[in-house]
Amino acid sequence: MLRRCSALRNSETALAACALSASLALTACQNDEVTKPAQVAQSQTAQQQQTEPAKAELPTPHVAPQAATQAGRAAIGEPAPDFELSDVNGKRVTLAEFKGKTVVLEWFNPQCPFVKLSHTKGSLAGFAHERDGKNGVVWLAINSGGEGRQGHGIEVNRTGAKTFGLDHPILLDPSGSVGRAYGATNTPHMFVIDSSGRLAYAGAIDNSPDAEGGSPTGGKLINYVEQALDELAAGKPVSVPKTQAYGCSVKYAGG
C-alpha cells in the first residue's frame, strides 16, 4: 500500500484516498485485536463446560409441611404416644418399658443418602453409641418404610446397622402407624422424650441440611438432640424444642 501511495504522491486526491484506506485498515486491525481475546475466552469457556464433569448432588431435601403437627399426633410437652414394635431380631419393644428414662427416637432408612452421610460424616456418626445406655438415655431407631419401598426389610436394616456401627435396636413399622402418630416426615427425623414420658424435642438432628455438618445455618454447627439431652440432664427446659426436619421423605406404604 506504501508503494502505491509513493507512486501517486503528486496527486492530492490519490493521497487523500490512500490516507483514508490506511485509516480504515488500521481501524480494522485495532478492532481485530480487541475482539480476539473475547473470542478466545468464549472458546475456552465452551471447552471447559464440555470437559468438566458434573458434580454429584444430594437429592433435594424433603421439607416437612408446617401442618405436620395435627390433632392426634405427638406434640411438644404432651405425653408421647406409646407403641409396640419388633426389632430386626424379632424382639418386641415397647416405649412403656423405658418409663423414667430419656428416650431418643430416630426415624431411620439405611438407604437414604442423608442418613448415610449423617451416620458416616455428620452429627449422627457415633453419636447414638456415645449416648445410648448412659445417664438414663435409651436410643431407638424406627423404620416406617412400607413393603417394597426404599430401606424396607429385615436384612436391609441389619446391613445398615453393621455398616454404620449401630448397636441400638432398629424397630420396624411397616404399616407406618407409629411414624404417623409422631408426625415423622423425614429420615432422619429426631424425637426426644423426657423421663416423665413427655415429648421434649422434635425436628432435625442439627442445623446443617447437607447432613455432613459442613454448612450449618448461621455458621456454627448445633446438634439439637445433644443440646436437648444435655439440658434435660441438667434439669433445664429444652431451649429449642422444635426445628424443621430435613432429609429423605419417610417411605410410607402407599406413599
Q: What is the pLDDT of residues 129-138, one digit of tens each?
A: 999 999 999 9
Q: Coil, helix or strand for 93?
A: strand
Which of 23-37, 52-66, 117-131, 184-198 has the least mean pLDDT?
23-37
Q: How many CA atoms lie within 13 A of 31 on its CB side?
A: 6
pLDDT beyond 90 at 41:
no
Query: What does the DSSP 8-state code read for residue 95?
Result: S
pLDDT in tens, 157-175: 999 999 999 999 999 999 9
CATH number for the domain running over 74-249: 3.40.30.10
Q: Using 50, 70 and 90 to split pLDDT, how confident is the model at 237?
A: very high
The SS3 call for residue 107 is strand
Reading phi first (left if > 0) and then psi (alpha if -120 to 50, else beta), residue 248 is in beta
How far is residue 2's CA from residue 153's CA, in Å, rounded to a whole number? 89
Mean pLDDT across the chain, nearest whole number? 81
pLDDT above 60 for 64: no
- What are the residue ranges spanned by the domains of the chain? 2-37, 74-249
Read off the pLDDT of each residue in 22-40 and give the average, rounded to a whole number. 37
pTM recorded for the entire structure: 0.75
